[in-house]
Amino acid sequence: MPKLDRYLISEFALAILATLIVLLIVTVGGAFTDVLQDIARGRVPAGLMLAQLGLVLLKWLPLILPLALMLGLMMAVGRLYRDSEMPVIASIGVGPRRMLRPLLLVVGPLVAVVAACSLWLGPWADRVSKQMINDANRSLVMAGLEPGSFTGIPGSTGVIYVSNMSKDGSGLEKVFIYRDDGNGLMDVVTANDGKLTVDEAGHRYLTLNKGFQIEGRTNGAKDFRLMRYARNEILLPANDERFDPDAPEMQSTRALLGDYSREARAQLHYRIAPPLLALAFGLMAVPLARSMPRQARYGRILIGFLAYLIGQNLMTAGRGWLEDGKIATGLGLWWLIVPIMAIALWLYFTDGRLGRRKAKAADGARA
């Protein structure tokens, strides 16, 4: 491999890696906040925090990698122009066509990673995430309940205390439950033992045996009611996000290929678009980063970032339009992918030529 190719590949790869690390740090903070909010609302058991964080990041990679690719390339090419290295490279006859090989050697593997994440790893991570939450909701251990301590009831105003619990988290002993509906009505439930049960619809119940239940108000009223029961079933707050294995978002890409419904077609095109857009953004980054030695480079980086935002927003909106029937199913997202790819190829292979032609035409008109 020529030394120039090795030099360009190292410059491109290091810049993309540095940009990706920064974006991942920012993304981890946002994903961590979302997971904590889901835990606080009772949607995700606390014991699954780290696993859910990793799966969320894996699902977001098809959106992060194209941005890291574009901004990293623009930073690298902009530095070459700023340090006057690109004019020297151009003076020895290295143009856009000659730079295409080292560029594709860097862009190609990243596009393959984006394709793998978008077509396989992302949907797999989403399915595993939802299935882990469903399985964890069947166990009080994964729901964050610990023997000997008061634990808030997820999705409700109240606490629960157990003195002992079975290893699988389904059986419990010496139970105390306090609940408040927020309107001044509260009840206290005690039991010698109980267990967690889940019906066919996915509703979770605490089945308590041999205990007492006290109902009353927290506004100072003295009218309380005491009941003794042999068996009491308490419905726990339902999880807002139910796992639907038949939803298009949960289906594998192979399964979507044989499904011709609007939702499935929209999801399929939504998975195909990211790697193709990543390739277009990679090609577009080189001409967009073109600048003079003393020219500010961050303005062009902003243009590239805006181009990425427009592409991603149109991709997301296009999926909704396909699901709603506003766009023909056969058209898919090609109305977005093909123009962006054509613009990227045109910008790359005509880098600077259009400006020179206009300048020559102006000189001829003056003569």
With 0-12 / 13-18 / 19 or more C-beta atoms within 10 angstroms meaning exposed / middle / buried, residue 28 is middle
List the structure tokens of 215.
Answer: 């109902």
Rounded to whole angstroms, the Cα distance separating 327 from 317 reads: 11
Rounded to whole angstroms, the Cα distance separating 313 from 327 reads: 16
Band (pLDDT 50/70/90 cuts) for residue 358 is very low
- Mean pLDDT over 293-297 rounds to 63
Distance of CA 30 to the CA centre of its chain: 10
pTM of the model: 0.73
Rounded to whole angstroms, the Cα distance separating 57 from 133 reads: 17
Band (pLDDT 50/70/90 cuts) for residue 40 is low
List the structure tokens of 26.
Answer: 């920012």
143-147, 209-213, 260-264: least confident range? 143-147
More confident call, 276 vs 361: 276
Rounded to whole angstroms, the Cα distance separating 341 from 282 reads: 10
Beta bridge partners of residue 15, listed in sequence order: none
pLDDT of residue 13: 92
Which tens digits make up the pLDDT trace of 233-245? 877 765 545 566 6
Rounded to whole angstroms, the Cα distance separating 113 from 131 reads: 25
Hey, what amino acid is at 249?
E
SS3 256: helix
pLDDT of residue 208: 87
Burial per residue of 167-190, b for 16 or more beta-carbon CB atoms within 10 angstroms, e otherwise: eebbebebbebbbeeeeeebbbbb
42-46, 66-70, 156-160: least confident range? 42-46
| Residue 350 neighbours by CB distance under 10 Å | 13
Band (pLDDT 50/70/90 cuts) for residue 82 is confident
Lateral strand order in the sheet of 151-152:
151-152, 158-165, 171-180, 185-198, 204-217, 225-235
Q: Is the pLDDT of residue 281 over 90?
A: yes
- Mean pLDDT over 46-53 rounds to 80
Please give the C-alpha separations between residue 53 and each of 112, 119, 123, 139, in angstroms, as whole numbers: 23, 20, 15, 20
Q: Is the pLDDT of residue 106 over 50?
A: yes
In this structure, what is the dihedral angle of CA atoms 239, 245, 247, 252, given to the nearest 10 degrees?
Answer: 130
Rounded to whole angstroms, the Cα distance separating 282 from 7 reads: 18
Rounded to whole angstroms, the Cα distance separating 355 from 367 reads: 19
**Contact criterion met (CB below 8 Å) for 329 and 262:** yes
Residue 76's nearest CA partner among 283, 304, 285 is 285
Give the number of residues written for the chain: 367
**Contact criterion met (CB below 8 Å) for 97 and 45:** no
pLDDT of residue 168: 63
Rounded to whole angstroms, the Cα distance separating 179 from 159 reads: 7
Which tens digits make up the pLDDT trace of 146-179? 677 777 765 566 788 888 877 666 678 888 888 8
pLDDT of residue 27: 87
DSSP annotation of 121 reads: I
